[in-house]
Amino acid sequence: MKKLLTTILLFGSMLTMTGCSDYLDILPKDKQTSDMFWKSREDVEAVLAQAYHLTRGSVKDMLNWGELRGGSVNTSDVDAAKIQDFQILPNNKYVKWANFYNIIGLANAVLYYAPGVMDEDASYKEEQMKSNQTEAYFLRALSYFYLVRNFRDVPLITEPYIDDQMPTNVPKSSESEVIAQIKKDITDALATNAAKETYTETWENKGRATKWALLALMTDVCLWSEDYQGCVDYADQLINASAAIRPVFITSSSQWFEMFYPGNSNESIFEIQFEGDLDQTSGGPTDLTYWNDSPMGLYFSETMTERLMEPEVVNTVRGLYGNFGYDNTTETEILQPIIWKYNGMGEDWEMKREGDNQDANFIVYRMADVMLMKAEALIRLEGTANWQEAIDLINQTRTRGEMASLDIDPAETSELDLLTALLEERDIEFAAEGKRWYDLLRLGRQQNFQYRSQFVDLVMSNNTTANRTWLNSVLTDDDAWFLPIPEWDMNTNNQLVQNPYYDVVQ
């Protein structure tokens, strides 16, 4: 198949067989230098390929961390359910950040060593080198963005391990410091003018970092950090783009499901690739949400299923009888809350993914997300004109989703009412796409915790598995809204300090 995708598989398999740390420890750390490896363009591409390979291993974290506390998705996994029930401890196997730091380490290496490869390989030109660096910037920034949204303060490492003189124990940096580095990485990448808009292969346009992926990530980071005008400006660079090949919002409801099967749609900006023909199904969305006689991983919660069965939603492309392939001839039966966007190949109940087809990609960013992030920023910026534009953006996704437009007068509504409508739309549109918890966190934390009580109410009302008294007590402590530092890292890095809430819990 495609060259880089094959490289990702082969290079990743080599590390999987030995274990990543074992592979790196074949040589002493002070011998893992440029004179031992970084000789050609292919060497740079191999390290990038391994970084992309590791993103596939991160999808489980992206889904568990981004959904389980939000109440729209539940899990049948006992350990993951601790996240869902807010009973997380540092020794939980799903509270590990190693995979993201492995991606960061590979990105650091590309950024550090790639310029020197031009001296070793005359065919490796500066334009290609800078393009590879933009991919590394994106992968590092994306990894840190997942870490900072889940652990808040995390170690900030931007240099590769070169020799034994470098410190291995690194303390945490503040959330603001990490966010600043993420923004710097993205602006540095865009400033090179080397970020590709398109690649040779169609899948690469969605499966590798592009200019569009960098813009989408920056839109998200600006919204998280309350830079609302920045969010609007970066979103507009995507929405108003005129390049011949660019991501575009799909307006047809009949094409909505094509984003998930076959995937890599025109609306997609960046998605993590899985390929059944290459044995790349493990850890993917289909694998994590697989459904047989009952859910075997992640599935829609009771409250989410009720939302998908509401009269205005149920028979639409996003509703239970549309998106989830419900067979209308058996509509009296109770359907398990299967996440059909990852398990189906169309709107027919019989079109379930089997065998090599259990390889749905994981969409990190798509145009509807950018549009609704812009809408949220416009709501926060206030003003009748901004609010009308936000309503119009929300109505675009509602119309595509076969739902009636919101009939809201921007002069007669409130910021909270608009944010509530936006959150409801995002919940339906991005169901099980790893975004719900971060949407709720923005509501609860921003503007000096202005809507803390509404955040708590939303989490309480959507969570049907946690003990009510316990959940209410946990949510009163905003330190508990984040994950604990992993136990292994606490034991091996004497510079780390456990996140405050978990010192008390333990």
143-180 pLDDT, tens per residue? Answer: 999 999 999 999 999 999 887 667 778 999 999 999 99
Residue range 290-319, pLDDT digits in tens: 876 556 689 999 999 999 989 999 889 998
pLDDT at 491 exceeding the cut of 50: yes
Shared domain check, 177 and 285: no
Residue range 130-143, pLDDT digits in tens: 999 999 999 999 99
Least confident range from 31-45, 173-187, 359-373: namely: 31-45
Residue range 244-272, pLDDT digits in tens: 999 999 999 999 999 999 999 999 999 99
* In-domain check, residue 44: yes
Task: Report which of residues 350 and 27 the model is more confident about.
Answer: 350
* In-domain check, residue 291: yes
Shared domain check, 316 and 178: no
Q: What's the whole-number mean pLDDT along residues 61-70? A: 98
What CA–CA distances, in Å, run from 147 to 133, 155, 175, 227, 375?
21, 10, 10, 19, 25
pLDDT at 38 exceeding the cut of 60: yes
Query: Range of 16's domain?
Result: 3-195
* Cis peptide bond N-terminal to 285, omega within 30: no
* In-domain check, residue 201: no
Shared domain check, 287 and 163: no
Q: In sequence order, what are the residues at sequence separation of 6 or more whose Cβ sits closer than 8 angstroms to the Cβ of residue 123?
A: 41
Task: Name the nearest CA neighbour of 156 among 138, 142, 144, 164.
Answer: 144
* In-domain check, residue 308: yes
Shared domain check, 24 and 171: yes
Shared domain check, 28 and 177: yes
- Domain end (from 360, 383, 418): 360
Residue range 203-233, pLDDT digits in tens: 999 999 999 999 999 999 999 999 999 999 9
Type of residue found at 186: I
* In-domain check, residue 169: yes
pLDDT at 1 exceeding the cut of 50: no
Query: CA-CA distance, 125 to 441, in Å (whole number)?
Result: 44
Q: Coil, strand or helix: which one is 137?
A: helix
- Domain end (from 174, 195, 216): 195
pLDDT at 26 exceeding the cut of 60: no
Task: Work out the mean pLDDT of the chain and round it to a whole number.
Answer: 90
Return the CATH number at 182.
1.25.40.390
Distance in angstroms between the alpha carbons of the first and the last residue of the chain: 50
Shared domain check, 173 and 316: no
* In-domain check, residue 149: yes
- For 476, counting Cβ atoms within 10 Å of its Cβ (0-12 exposed, 13-18 middle, 19+ buried), the class is exposed
Query: CA-CA distance, 122 to 330, in Å (whole number)?
Result: 65
pLDDT of residue 14: 36
Shared domain check, 177 and 31: yes
Beta pairing, strands 298-300 & 73-75: antiparallel
pLDDT of residue 354: 85
pLDDT of residue 223: 99
pLDDT at 28 exceeding the cut of 60: no
Task: Name the nearest CA neighbour of 56 among 259, 339, 273, 276.
Answer: 273
DSSP code at position 353: -
pLDDT of residue 35: 60
Shared domain check, 188 and 79: yes
Query: What phi and psi, each to the nearest 5 degrees, are found at residue 172?
Result: -75, 145
Shared domain check, 148 and 39: yes
Query: CA-CA distance, 67 to 476, in Å (whole number)?
Result: 20
At 346, is the pLDDT very low, low, confident or very high (cuts 50, 70, 90)?
confident
Shared domain check, 132 and 39: yes
Task: Name the nearest CA neighbour of 259 among 369, 403, 363.
Answer: 363
Concatenated DSSP letters for 308-351? HTSTTTTTSTTSTTTTT---GGGTTSPPP---HHHHBSSSSTT-
Rounded percentage of the chain residues whose pLDDT exceeds 90: 78
pLDDT at 240 exceeding the cut of 90: yes
Shared domain check, 113 and 11: yes
Q: What's the whole-number mean pLDDT along residues 88-116? A: 97
pLDDT at 330 exceeding the cut of 50: no
List % helix, strand, coil for the chain (3-state, nearest 5).
Answer: 55, 5, 40
* In-domain check, residue 225: no
- Domain end (from 167, 195, 223): 195
pLDDT at 23 exceeding the cut of 60: no
pLDDT of residue 365: 99
Shared domain check, 297 and 152: no
Burial 449-463 (b: 16+ CB within 10 A, else e): eebeebbbebbeebb
pLDDT at 10 exceeding the cut of 50: no
Q: State the total domains in the chain.
A: 2
Q: What's the whole-number mean pLDDT along residues 378-382? A: 97
* In-domain check, residue 444: no
pLDDT at 75 exceeding the cut of 70: yes
